[in-house]
Structure 1
Amino acid sequence: MTTPPPGLSTPLLTPTDAEKKALLDARNEEEIRLLVAQMQKAGALGFDPSTHVKGVITAVSYASSPPTVSLQISGDTTTTITGVRIMNNFTPVTGQTVDIRKQGADIVITGHTADVSGTARGQVGSGWIKATLTNGSHNGNSNGDVYYRLKLDDGSWKVQWQGGWAPEGSSIMIDSGQALPERFWPKALRSVPAARQVSTATSVVFDFHTDGRVVLTGHTYSTSASTVSGDVSFVSIGGSGFTSVNGSHTHIDGGGFATTTSGGHDHSVNIGASHDHGFYGGAHTHTAFWPAWVSLNGVEYFL
């Protein structure tokens, strides 16, 4: 028994365990009655349940905001539903079999049912498109044919590439006559580094233009002959030490013998002696070999 609060003369009794259980059962029963009443009022539930069905994508609206697709549901090939939304990391491709979540009148695609090999190229549903080349050839350095595809990455479109290209003397891989479809065009020029045949240089740059052209840049397009121009600053030994002399000179003649214009001289350097083997005042170039191949594996850009 507890002490009664002020104003009450009758003491309060603590409920027994049986009384507590009875109160809890009554409360639960009331909640169940309310739920049943709600279900009866709605016919089943107080809300439309979410259901899953299967469908096939028949068209994709890449440029719409947000992007949407058209599809046919549950094998029905006579009725096409348009304007269907997608998740922000799902890339729709015409012909894909997809999982669809439907709640009331709302329909959204939640994912793509894998229906081709994970290494498939050019098959329906894979998204990969084989590039039509203006110059050169596919399979550079046995890296496979050149393919590209569109991907939705957290709501932003980007283009991925793979394969190898053999330039065969041209810097233009894809020209305006074979330009990429418009949905692959970037909003501004995209310059992306790529691996190349390791000779003189180890990388090049692919320029993806806003009109669908793809051009190779970033290396000198010429033969392998090296050119040096300008004044050469070199050091020769003299009676009072080292002196720098401007002007061209050669050390090897056509027969492989050392030649000079002023007699014998020595290029050995004593420890601590000041000397210069660089270029003085003149420009010079080191031209690069044409790459026999360039790789597009790992190349991608956002639109």
Structure 2
Amino acid sequence: MTGICTGRVAAVTGAGRGLGRAHALALAAEGARVVVNDLGVAADGAGSSAGPAQRVADEIRARGGRAVAHTGDITTTDGAASLVTTALDAFGRLDALVNNAGFLRDRMLVNLDEDDWNAVLRVHLTGHFLPLKHAAAHWRAEAKAGRTPTARIVNTSSGAGLLGSVGQGNYSAAKAGIVGLTLVAAAELGRYGIQVNALAPAARTRMTEHTFAETMAAPAAGDFDAMAPENVSPLVVWLASADCEGVTGRVFEAEGGRITVMEGWRPGPTADKGARRTPAEAGEAARALLAAAERPRPVYGAR
């Protein structure tokens, strides 16, 4: 297989189903050798199975590509480190990391218990941090040895992380944290030849099929399936390739045929008294500034 990722090696977490599977197949179709990571858990993170990762690796090989399965837990130091080791042992290098693994445990905040909070932050946020850390350590060592890589990290945020989502306080917090992690990583790692970007995808997957059952229904035969996971993958492949040189620290939304560059928090209206205000004065100033500011977009699910 040849394409914009020919000769490159990419590791994709959560690649046994949904978006991760689509990314892995698209990367392979563009010439990448792929490490297919998946713990094989249920939609809420329960259980485990080697089946999903192995099936996708087999699917890539059946299409003429090269892939290996990795079933380690990337929310642990050993599991994340072994993801990098697997790429090096199987293919001799690592060029791109696509962080995608995740699951949901949705509850309204007053019903959200500590275990469900911790579990979702662990798989989404820690599950991004640890693979990123170990891949970056490898690439930094390469750069210090005079072999500066053309390395790429693609993180997976969500519209819930950018705007919030009712009933998903844990998921929204984790996905917002991924944006912050992306910005810091891009700033810290650029000197080593590493570019880091984030994606907020919208697609029909196990995690979204119940939340968006009506809007994400499959189309009639022959119609464009705007919510197919495969629509998101071309941007991921490009961000994992050498072709995106100079693009780092950015957040994109992708849905169907639409790609949007997201613009984060920026200073809006401001007022400086030059001295300490009383609480009443602070409130008066805040209300005046809010009247001049753009209204925020509504939280998903808010009425």
TM-score (norm. length: structure 2): 0.22
Higher fraction of strand: 1
In terms of Rg, which structure is larger? 1
**Greater RCO (Cα-Cα under 8 Å, separation 6 or more):** 2
The TM-score with structure 1 as length reference comes to: 0.22
Instruction: Name the structure where helix makes up a greater proportion of residues.
Output: 2
